[in-house]
Structure 1
Amino acid sequence: MRLFVRHRSEYSFSQPQARLVQLLRLTPRDHAGQSVVSWWIDVDRDARLKPMRDGYGNQATMLYIDGPIDRITLDVTGEVLTEDRAGMVIGAPEPLPPSYFLQDTPLTKADAAIQAIATADTDGGSGLDRAHLLADTIAEALDHQPTAIAADHDAIACFAAKAADPQGAAHVLIAAARAAGFPARYVAGHVYRPEAIDSHAAHGWAELFIEGYGWIGFDPSEGRCPTDNYIRVAIGLDHREAAPLSGLRTGGGDEALTIDVHVGPEPARD
């Protein structure tokens, strides 16, 4: 599938800022099933952009802007060719061993309730069968909401509430998968939903490492493995480590951030 993306971020500040430094994880990389045709990052004022690779192999960009700054707009646009690989991730940069992704983070801890899900129905079946069963169980256990249920999409809080947005659902699956012995990681990206024109957005799901297969994606919020409707952008132990935008500013006052994302077979139109 040929997909076009526009990710527009608009910052505004109640007081002018002296300096802004941002880490942008907004650029996808090629792997089997995903080819980046073109990709641009545009800023509406003088800025310095420094491409880099982070420790996970993500393509990142450091953004530096000197003030005074009261408003800034970032426009990220691109075109990507995708192919349905049944969630299998082949040919992506892998600087870290799978065992690294067995460690918990504050957002992906498993309490007794999540551990019970992780250890249930584990007799028999291949690792792949167990991973699918676990993902299906998490998908069925949660009421999938478009907005966050708990601060930072915390896995324990989301599972206790039995409701989560895509980021929270991914954290619940990651927590359960690690408790079941599967290396698991968070994926930040985009999804195209043909049936819901106004619902295209930045998205999140999980990848589990299955012996004999490698990394396979599971999206508990959609109840499926990623298809050619998905664009994979960045990975991390959790949502924070794969966040599209993070950084620091020098200056007082409040910050407001508005994000608008378009994903589809046609370029976005203003």
Structure 2
Amino acid sequence: MILTINHVTTYRYDAPMRAAVQSLRLFPSRFDGQRSIRWDVTVEGGTRGGSFRDGAGDKVEGWSMRGPVAEVSIAVAGQVETIDMAGVLRGHREIVPPFAYLRETVATWIDDAIETLAQEAAAGADDALDRAHRLSAAVAGAIAYAPGVTHAHTTAAEALELGEGVCQDHAHALIACARALDLPARYVSGYLYARDDGEPHEASHAWAEIWVDGIGWIGFDAANGCCPDERYIRLGSGLDAREAAPIKGIAMGAGEEKLDVTVALDAIQQ
């Protein structure tokens, strides 16, 4: 499938800022399941800085803006060819060892409820792959998709207690459950073209990857009850949403910030 993406993120300030710096992780991953045909990232009025590929294989690029800065607009436009790899991240080059992703974070802290959910879901599983699938199904059943109930700083434990959340919460809960069973797991940011019912999914998306010995990293999207396929564009990964964030930055000044995001994703060839 060939997917086109147009993604604009705009930060507006009620008082001009002295300067702003952005670290962008907005570039498609390199692996057997996707190939960039064209991809452009620009920051209006910004100066492009250095870029590098980190230990997890993700490209990171820096931008800076001199003040007065009233608005920062980050635009992504591109085309990516994708292939259904049944969720397997084959051909991805990275040097961070899988066991590094056993470390808990505030967002993925394992409380008693998460431990219980993980143990009950994995009971009777044949192997690690079976356990991973069972965990994804258990999280999907325990947390109903409900936009607006949680927020950016909601933890996996809090979402599980609420029983509602969005893709970020599903990913955090699945990661916590996997780590509770000593399965390395990480958060993945990207885009999703459509849900199983064919409805357009006009937003950035997130899912989890779990390491299975003998296979490698496998993606699990508990929010949609599937493994990532040709509808997904993978950008980057991290221990949680904060670490894997496509955009990180800081603005220097006293102005209040407002955020506006628009994402359009379409398929031009299937």
* TM-score, normalised with respect to structure 1: 0.94
Number of paired residues? Answer: 266
Shift in alpha-carbon separation, 1:229–1:118, aligned structure 2, 3 A = same
| AA in 2 matched with 1:216 | I
SS at match of 1:208: strand
Contact 1:43 1:75 in 2 (8 A): yes
CA-atom RMSD in angstroms: 1.5
Identity %: 37
SS at match of 1:72: strand
Q: Which has the higher mean CA deviation after the structures are superposed, 62-71 or 232-241?
A: 62-71
Contact 2:143 2:163 in 1 (8 A): yes
Q: Which has the higher mean CA deviation after the structures are superposed, 242-251 or 181-190?
A: 242-251
**Whole-angstrom distance in 1 between the partners of 2:48 and 2:216:** 38
Q: Which has the higher mean CA deviation after the structures are superposed, 48-57 or 251-260?
A: 48-57
**Whole-angstrom distance in 2 between the partners of 1:128 and 1:242:** 24
| AA in 2 matched with 1:85 | M
Contact 2:46 2:63 in 1 (8 A): no
Equivalent residue, structure 1, for 2:128: 127
Equivalent residue, structure 1, for 2:256: 254
1:197-229 Cα deviation digits (max 9, x unpaired) = 3x3211000000011111100000001100100
Q: CA deviation at 1:42?
A: 2.0
Which aligned runs of 4 or more in structure 1 are off by greater than 6 angstroms?
none
Equivalent residue, structure 2, for 1:232: 234
Shift in alpha-carbon separation, 1:148–1:170, aligned structure 2, 3 A = farther
| AA in 1 matched with 2:225 | G
1:225-261 Cα deviation digits (max 9, x unpaired) = 0010000000000000011111111111201111111
| AA in 2 matched with 1:40 | D
| AA in 2 matched with 1:34 | Q
Shift in alpha-carbon separation, 1:23–1:148, aligned structure 2, 3 A = farther
**Are 1:207 and 2:209 an aligned pair?**
yes
| AA in 2 matched with 1:134 | L
Equivalent residue, structure 1, for 2:199: 196
* TM-score, normalised with respect to structure 2: 0.94
Shift in alpha-carbon separation, 1:6–1:145, aligned structure 2, 3 A = same
Equivalent residue, structure 1, for 2:70: 70
| AA in 2 matched with 1:245 | I
Q: CA deviation at 1:32?
A: 0.8
Summarize the alignment of residues 19-168 of structure 1 with structure 2, pairs less than 5 Å apart. 19-120=19-120, 121-147=122-148, 149-168=150-169
1:147-204 Cα deviation digits (max 9, x unpaired) = 351442310100000111000110000000000111000000000016223x321100
Equivalent residue, structure 1, for 2:187: 186
| AA in 2 matched with 1:75 | A
| AA in 2 matched with 1:59 | K
**Whole-angstrom distance in 1 between the partners of 2:46 and 2:161:** 46
SS at match of 2:228: coil
SS at match of 1:153: coil
Task: Identify the match of residue 223 of structure 2 among 215, 221, 224.
Answer: 221
| AA in 2 matched with 1:237 | L
